[in-house]
């Protein structure tokens, strides 16, 4: 069997099994290519049209075994391979933390938040850092900033440590355990936060691949806003005068707007639309504190 035939066979198996995507790929062909190339020890950018070597039986068996494991156990491929990419950056990942996919990474790389930053932006917080992917991408995009990266999960912080060390950023990213902003110290110029925001109804309906991720990463309570309510209430004390928050709310814009109807904010454009990442200034939060919703 040749590489392209093996990928096609794997793609067909994934399609027939109706697995869910969204952890690095969004279709059966890409997912099949990922698993097959990884199992063969080939780079993910291998030109499969050019690779015409006949594969031996052991190679085919190894590749199909991991595809079948993906199907039978409904585990995201990133957990099977131990690696995920975000904005072209590789991250180690295992079941101790969520798989990197935050849209905030796009906003950092495509500079859509830059108009709200200044030359004085130097202290950054990545709250709910998980695997540390946002802290790491932020450190790469802004080489002069220092970043505190906080998370409540010690297990997630172990994965974060691996990624921070892998990218040689231990001198610029401080990992700390913290329940919300409890152990945040500085006034920050920029707070990035991709929190648990999935509402209770959606939690029940999640495909098994998402249930393989730590519940603490996803579960945002009845309307998805449990973490965000406390965070936005506590945040003004941790923002400098020029400070801004960039917050991901996933598919919960409606719940967010119901909970914070008096809060002035800017919805940032991403590849998934203009309703998943919101930017809030310190000034808007302070005004909101004077006229909250309740």
Ligand X SMILES: C[S@@+](CC[C@H](N)C(=O)[O-])C[C@H]1O[C@@H](n2cnc3c(N)ncnc32)[C@H](O)[C@@H]1O
- Residues of this chain that interact with ligand X (CB under 6 A) are 97-98, 100, 102, 128-131, 133-134, 150-153, 156, 178-180, 194-196, 216-217, 227
Judged by beta carbon, residue 98 or residue 113, the one nearer ligand X is 98
What residues have CB less than 8 Å from 122, skipping those under 6 apart? 144, 145, 146, 189
Cβ density class 174-199: b for 16+ within 10 Å, e for less: ebeebebbeebeebbbbbbbbbbbbb
Q: How far is the CB of 225 from ligand X (least distance, A)?
A: 13
Judged by beta carbon, residue 76 or residue 130, the one nearer ligand X is 130
Q: How far is the CB of 50 from ligand X (least distance, A)?
A: 34
Judged by beta carbon, residue 65 or residue 170, the one nearer ligand X is 170
Of 210, 251, 95, the residue nearest 158 (C-alpha): 95
E-strand spans in the chain? 83-86, 89-92, 123-127, 146-151, 173-177, 188-193, 239-248, 266-270, 273-281
Q: How far is the CB of 72 from ligand X (least distance, A)?
A: 26
Judged by beta carbon, residue 194 or residue 270, the one nearer ligand X is 194
Judged by beta carbon, residue 63 or residue 159, the one nearer ligand X is 159
Q: How far is the CB of 166 from ligand X (least distance, A)?
A: 15
Instruction: Count CB neighbours of 68 within 10 A.
Output: 13
Judged by beta carbon, residue 37 or residue 99, the one nearer ligand X is 99
Q: How far is the CB of 45 from ligand X (least distance, A)?
A: 23
Residue 151 CA to residue 130 CA, distance in Å, equals: 6
Judged by beta carbon, residue 155 or residue 257, the one nearer ligand X is 155
Q: How far is the CB of 100 from ligand X (least distance, A)?
A: 4
Judged by beta carbon, residue 37 or residue 277, the one nearer ligand X is 277
Residue 111 CA to residue 115 CA, distance in Å, equals: 8
Residue 243 CA to residue 123 CA, distance in Å, equals: 9
Q: Are 49 and 4 in contact (CB under 8 A)?
A: yes
Q: How far is the CB of 56 from ligand X (least distance, A)?
A: 38
Residue sitting closest to ligand X (CB) = 130
Q: How far is the CB of 23 from ligand X (least distance, A)?
A: 11
Please state, in angstroms and as integers, the Cα–Cα distance from residue 275 to each residue in 76, 112, 166, 268, following that order: 25, 14, 33, 7
What residues have CB less than 8 Å from 119, skipping those under 6 apart? none
- 35 HSE (CA, 13 A, CB side): 32
């Amino acid at each position: 069997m040749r590489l392209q035939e093996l990928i096609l066979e794997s793609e067909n198996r994934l399609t027939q099994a109706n697995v869910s995507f969204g952890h690095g790929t969004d279709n059966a062909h890409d997912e099949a290519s990922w698993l097959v190339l990884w199992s063969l020890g080939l780079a993910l950018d291998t030109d499969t049209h050019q690779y015409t070597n006949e594969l031996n039986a052991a190679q085919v068996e190894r590749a199909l075994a991991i595809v079948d494991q993906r199907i039978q156990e409904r585990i995201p491929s990133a957990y099977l391979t131990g690696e995920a990419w975000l904005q072209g950056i590789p991250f180690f990942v295992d079941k101790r933390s969520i798989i990197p996919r935050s849209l905030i990474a796009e906003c950092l790389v495509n500079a859509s938040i830059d108009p709200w930053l200044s030359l004085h932006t130097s202290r950054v917080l990545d709250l709910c850092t998980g695997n540390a992917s946002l802290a790491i991408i932020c450190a790469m995009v802004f080489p002069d900033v220092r970043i505190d990266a906080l998370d409540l999960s010690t297990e997630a912080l172990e994965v974060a440590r691996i990624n921070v060390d892998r990218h040689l950023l231990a001198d610029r990213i401080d990992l700390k355990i913290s329940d919300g902003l409890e152990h945040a110290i500085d006034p920050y110029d920029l707070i990035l936060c991709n929190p648990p925001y999935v509402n209770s109804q959606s939690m029940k309906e999640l495909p098994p691949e998402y249930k393989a991720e730590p519940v603490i990463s996803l579960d945002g309570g009845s309307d998805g806003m449990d973490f965000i309510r406390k965070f936005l209430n506590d945040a003004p004390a941790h923002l400098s005068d020029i400070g801004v928050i960039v917050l991901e709310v996933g598919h919960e814009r409606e719940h967010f707007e119901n909970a914070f109807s008096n809060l002035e904010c800017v919805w940032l454009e991403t590849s998934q639309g203009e309703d998943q990442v919101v930017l809030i200034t310190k000034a808007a939060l302070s005004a909101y504190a004077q006229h909250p919703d309740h």
